[in-house]
Copies of this chain bind each other. A is one copy, B any other.
Amino acid sequence: MRILVDVMGGDLPPAELVKGGITAGREAEIEIGFVGDPEVIRAALSQNNEKEGGAFSIVPAAQVIRMDDPPVRAVREKRDSSLIKGLLALKEGEGDAFVSPGNTGAVVAGAIFTLGRLPGVPRPGIAALLPTLAGKEILIIDVGATVDCTPPHLLHFALMGGSYARDVLRVPDPRIGLLNIGTEETKGNKLTQRAFELLEKSPLPFVGNVEGHDLLTDPAVDVVVCDGFVGNVFLKALEGGVSAVTGFLREGLSRGGVRVKLGALLFKPVFSALRSLLSYERHGGAPLLGVNGVVVIGHGRSDAAAIAGAVLAAKRAVEAGLNERIAQGMKGWGKIGS
Known: A189-B229, A230-B230, A260-B270. 13 other contacts (CB 8 A): A133-B251, A147-B181, A230-B233, A233-B237, A234-B237, A237-B241, A240-B241, A248-B274, A248-B277, A252-B270, A253-B270, A260-B267, A263-B265
Give per-residue flags for A123-134: 1 if the beta carbon is below 8 A from chain B beta carbons, else 0.
000000000110
Q: Give the secondary structure class of A's interface.
A: helix
Q: A262's closest neighbor in chain B, by CB?
A: B266
Q: Is the CB of B241 within 8 A of A189?
A: no
Which of A188, A217, A247 lies at the interface centre, i.e. has the most chain B CB atoms within 10 A of its CB?
A: A217
How far apart are the CA atoms of A192 and B240 in the complex, in Å?
A: 21
Specify how many copies of this chain sit in the oligomer. Answer: 2
Q: Is the CB of B148 within 8 A of A243?
A: no
Within the complex, the shortest CB–CB distance from A275 to chain B, in Å, comes to 10
Would you give the 0/1 interface string for A261-285, flagging 1 where the beta carbon is closer than 8 Å to chain B? 0111111111101100110000000
Say whether A122 faces chain B, with CB atoms less than 8 Å apart.
Answer: no
Q: Which of these, B229, B247, B267, contacts A188 with CB under 8 Å?
A: B229
Contact B229 A181 (CB under 8 A): yes
Tell me if A211 counts as interface (CB < 8 A to partner B): yes
Chain B hits for A144, CB < 8 A:
181
CB neighbors of B among A285-306 (8 A): none
Residues of chain B with a CB closer than 8 A to A243's CB: 213, 217
Most chain B beta-carbon neighbours within 10 Å: one of A68, A232, A238: A238
A200 sits at the interface (CB 8 A): no
What is the 8 Å Cβ interface bit string for chain A, positions 211-255, against chain B (1 contact, 0 not)?
111111100000000110110111111111111111111011100
Is A170 at the interface (CB under 8 A from chain B)?
A: no
Interface residue A179 (Cβ < 8 Å from any Cβ of B): yes
